[in-house]
Amino acid sequence: MKISEMRYVQFKDIKYKFPKDSWLYWRNEKHDGEFDENWVIYVEDTFEVENVNLDDPFTIFNAIENLTDINQEACMAVLIDGNFKAENIYNNESDGSICLCVLGNLDADNMIVGGQELYITGNLNIKECFWGNYNHGDLIVKGETKTRVFVATEGYHYDYKKERVTAEFFLCDEEEEDGIFDRTFPEAVFSEEILYTEDEVEEDDLFTWNAWLSRSEAIKMLEKNDSIIKKDIHVISKEEQKNTELSSIPKCFENTVFNGFSSFILQLDNFHKLMSIVKLHKEEYQYYTFEDYEVQLHPDTEEGQAHAMFTHVSGFIFFICIVTDENEGEVLSAVYRENEESSFINVFQQGTALHYITSLNILWNDLLTRAERGAYFYNKFLKTVKPEEILSFLNLPIVQEKYNDYKDADKNNFWYGGYCFLMRRHGERGLAGSIDIGKEREAETFDMRTYCFRPDELDEPERCNLFYASSQENLSDDSYSGNGEVFKVFLYDWKLFRESTEWYPKVGKAFTAMNEEYLEEKNI
C-alpha cells in the first residue's frame, strides 16, 4: 500500500468522514469539540492485514511518514475508508482502547474486543468467534453480522434484539435468565487452553460467562493464529436439558388412562397417591387453572372428604372422590353437573355422552402429570430456598440501614443485573420477612412479573412459600395477574416452581454485591 493512502490526522480534520450517529462524532459535537485535537489513523481505501492489536495499532498501521516523531499516545481511532479484512482483531484493555470505524465491510477470523466503539457501515463477517467484553464497548453494524460464535459479556453493548445478528451459538450474559453460569456451555464451545477450572473460579464471580474465559490466553492464541473455539461444537440446549430432567422424574402414577367405569375405578390407587402429594401443602384448599377450568384439590379433613373438582367457566363441574360401596369398600366416584341448578350425574351412567368421559380423562391426566412434576420441583424448591438464608440476606447492613422501609418506594427495593429486588424485614400473619424478584415485561406501560420468597415462621418455619404475580398492571389473562397483588403458588403450577428455583441464585449475588458496595461507600 502506498504511504499516501495512510495518514495520521487530527480528528477535527477528518470528523466529517465519521457517521453522524457514531459515538465519536456526536459526543464531539455535543461537547464543543472535545476530541478535535486527538489523532486518527486514516486509511483512504480498502485495507487487508494479518493480526491487529487495537491497543497498539501502529505495529500494523505503520506506513505513515515520521512515525517515530508523532504522538502515538494521542491516537483515539482507526478509520478505514473502504472494506477491511484481517485474520484476527483484538485488544487486552477493555476499559479503554482505540476505536475502529470501517466505512464498508469488515471480515476477520476472530475478534476479541472491548473498551471502544466499533462502527461498521457495511457487514461484519467473523469466521469463528466474536467476543465483546465490558460495558465500555459498543458494536454498531449497519448491515448484517454473521459469525459462528457470538459472545457478549459484562454489559457489552450490541444489537440485543439480534435483528441483524446471525450465529450458531450465543453466549450473552443478559440472556442467561436463570443466572446459572456453569462451565458446561463454555467448555462445549471453547478450547480448553482459555478455560478456567472449577477450582480457579470463585462462586461470587459467576454472574457472567467471562468468569470462565481467560481473555489474555485467548489473545495469545490469536497472536499465534490458533483457533480459540472447538472445531466440533455440540451444545445441549436449555430446552433439551429441561426435557431430559422431565424424563428423569420418578413415576408416581401408573395406568392413568381410562375409557369406561371398569378402567376408571382402577384409578383409586392413583387418587390416594395424588392426595399424599396434595398434603405437601398445608392448605386445605388448593387450586390451579387449566384452559377454561379451575381445578381444586382438597385433602381429607374434618371439614370435608378428599376430592378433586374441575369447574368450567360456564359453571359445569366434574367431581371426583372416594365413596363406600355396598360391601363397605372404597370405590372411586366421578360425577358431573351442568350448572348450579342441575343435579350431579354419574359420569359412567349408561347413556352419558362419550365426550364427558373424554374430557374428564384429559383433565385427570393433566392433573396427575402436574402433581408428579410438581412434587419433584416443589421438593427441589424447598431444598434450594432456605428460610434462614432469606433472613440472613434481610439482616445485611444494606437492608437494615438503607432499604429498611417497605412503605417507602425509595427504601424498599434496588435494581441489579436487570432485576428488581424488593424486601420486607417483617410482615403480618407470621411472615418473618420476604424477598421478591421482579423482571420487567415487554409492554407499552412499565410492568413486571415477580416471584416472592416468603419464610413461614408460624406454621412451617423450615419452609418458604412461593408467591407470584405475572403482571403488576393486570395485563396478563391468567390467575396470577393483579394490580400489585401476588398469589400463592401451589405445586401443580410446576413450571413456576422450576423457574423460581432458577431465579433464586440471583438473590445471593445481588445482595452480596450491593452490600459490599454499600459498605465501601460507608467507609470512604
215 inside domain = no
pLDDT of residue 1: 37
484 inside domain = yes
Give CA angle at 157 (152, 160), nearest 5°.
80
Secondary structure string (H, E, C) spanning 199-243: HHCCHHHCCCHHHHECHHHHHHHHHCCCCCECCCCCCCCHHHHHH
DSSP codes of every residue in 312-353: ETTS-EEEEEEEE-TTS-EEEEEEEESSTTSPPEETTSTT--
455 inside domain = yes
Q: What is the DSSP letter of 431?
A: B
Q: Read off the C-alpha cell for 56.
A: 497498539
Do 52 and 26 fall within a single domain? yes
476 inside domain = yes
Select from 359, 377, 395 the last residue of a domain: 377
Do 12 and 76 fall within a single domain? yes
Q: Which residue has the cell 440501614?
A: 401
Structurally, how many domains does the chain consist of?
Answer: 3
Do 305 and 337 fall within a single domain? yes
255 inside domain = no
226 inside domain = no
Do 290 and 332 fall within a single domain? yes
- If we measure between CA atoms, which residue out of 245, 134, 206 comes closest to residue 506? 206
CB 36 within 8 Å of CB 129:
no
Do 410 and 346 fall within a single domain? no
Do 372 and 422 fall within a single domain? no
pLDDT of residue 4: 38
Do 426 and 494 fall within a single domain? yes
Do 400 and 480 fall within a single domain? yes
pLDDT of residue 24: 95
What's the burial of 418, exposed, middle or buried (CB within 10 Å: 0-12/13-18/19+)?
exposed
Do 147 and 294 fall within a single domain? no
Do 75 and 16 fall within a single domain? yes
- If we measure between CA atoms, which residue out of 246, 248, 251 comes closest to residue 270? 251
Q: At what angle do helices 268-278 and 354-384 cross, to 10 degrees?
A: 40
Q: How many CB atoms lie within 10 A of CB 279?
A: 13
238 inside domain = no
Do 349 and 392 fall within a single domain? no
Select from 176, 205, 223 the last residue of a domain: 176
The domain in which residue 77 lies consists of 5-176
What's the burial of 524, exposed, middle or buried (CB within 10 Å: 0-12/13-18/19+)?
exposed
Q: Read off the C-alpha cell for 381.
A: 424448591
Beta bridge partners of 436: 422, 452
Do 42 and 145 fall within a single domain? yes
Q: How many CB atoms lie within 10 A of CB 419?
A: 21
- What are the 10-residue block averages of pLDDT along the chain, 524 residues in total? 70 96 95 95 94 94 82 93 96 93 98 97 98 94 97 93 93 78 91 93 83 96 96 83 91 92 94 96 92 94 88 96 85 93 91 91 97 97 93 92 87 87 70 86 87 80 90 88 90 96 89 90 78
Select from 176, 209, 242 the last residue of a domain: 176
CB 276 within 8 Å of CB 306:
no
47 inside domain = yes
- If we measure between CA atoms, which residue out of 132, 82, 85 comes closest to residue 111? 132
